[in-house]
Chain A
Amino acid sequence: MSATARIGRRVLLPLAGVALVLALWEATVIAYALPAIVLPSPLAVVRALGELVRTREFWRDVMVSLLEFVAGFGIGGALGVVVGLLIGESRRARLSATPVVESLRFVVPFAWIPLTILWFGTSWTGKVVLVGYAVFFVMVVSTARAMANVDPTLTRVATMLGMGRLQLALRVHLRAAAPTVASAARAAAAIGWIAVVAAEYIGASAGLGLMITNAASSLATPVVIAGMIVIGLVGAAVSAAIGWVARTRLAPR
Chain B
Amino acid sequence: MSAVSQSATGGGVLRVDAVSHGYASAGRRTEVLRDVSFEIPPGQVACVVGPSGCGKSTLMGLAAGLLRPSSGVLTWDAAPVRIGSNPHVGMAFQQPGLFPWMTVRQNVAIGPRTRGQDRASAARIADEFIERVGLTGFGDAYPSQLSGGMAQRVGIARALALRPRLLLLDEPFASVDAFTRLKLQQEFKALLKLDRPTVMFVTHDVPEAILLGDSIVVMTQRPASVKCVLPVAREERNRASPAYARKLAETLAHLGVSSEPDA
Contacts and interface: CB of A to CB of B under 8 A. Distances in A.
Contacts of A176: 99-101
A63 B146 CA distance: 47
Interface string B47-83: 0000000000000010010100000000000000000
A153 B95 contact: yes
Interface in A160-211: 160-164, 167, 172, 175-176, 178
A159 interface: yes
Give chain B's interface residue range (CB within 8 Å of chain A).
20 to 34
A160 B91 CA distance: 7
Contacts of B100: 176, 252-253
A156 B97 contact: yes
B95 A253 contact: no
A154 interface: yes
Contacts of B64: 156, 160
B114 A160 contact: no
A176 B144 CA distance: 14
Q: Which 3 A-B pairs have the closest CB atoms?
A: A153-B97, A253-B142, A252-B100
A252 B114 contact: no
Contacts of A43: none
A161 to B, nearest CB: 5
Given A156-B66, A156-B97, A175-B99, 16 more contacts: A154-B97, A156-B61, A159-B66, A160-B64, A160-B66, A161-B111, A162-B85, A162-B87, A163-B85, A167-B114, A175-B101, A176-B99, A176-B101, A252-B100, A252-B144, A253-B100
Contact of B99 (A162, A164, A167, A172): A172
A107 B162 CA distance: 51
Contacts, number: 55
B256 interface: no
A23 interface: no
Main secondary structure of the interface of A (DSSP, over half): helix
B85 A160 contact: yes
A94 to B, nearest CB: 19
Most chain A CB atoms below 10 A, which of B89, B114, B115, B158 = B114
Interface in B90-134: 90-91, 93, 95, 97, 99-101, 110-111, 114-115
Nearest to A152: B97
A190 B228 CA distance: 63
A151 interface: yes
Given A160-B64, A161-B162, A153 B93 contact: yes
B139 to A, nearest CB: 14
B27 interface: no
Contact of A156 (B93, B114, B142): B93
A15 interface: no
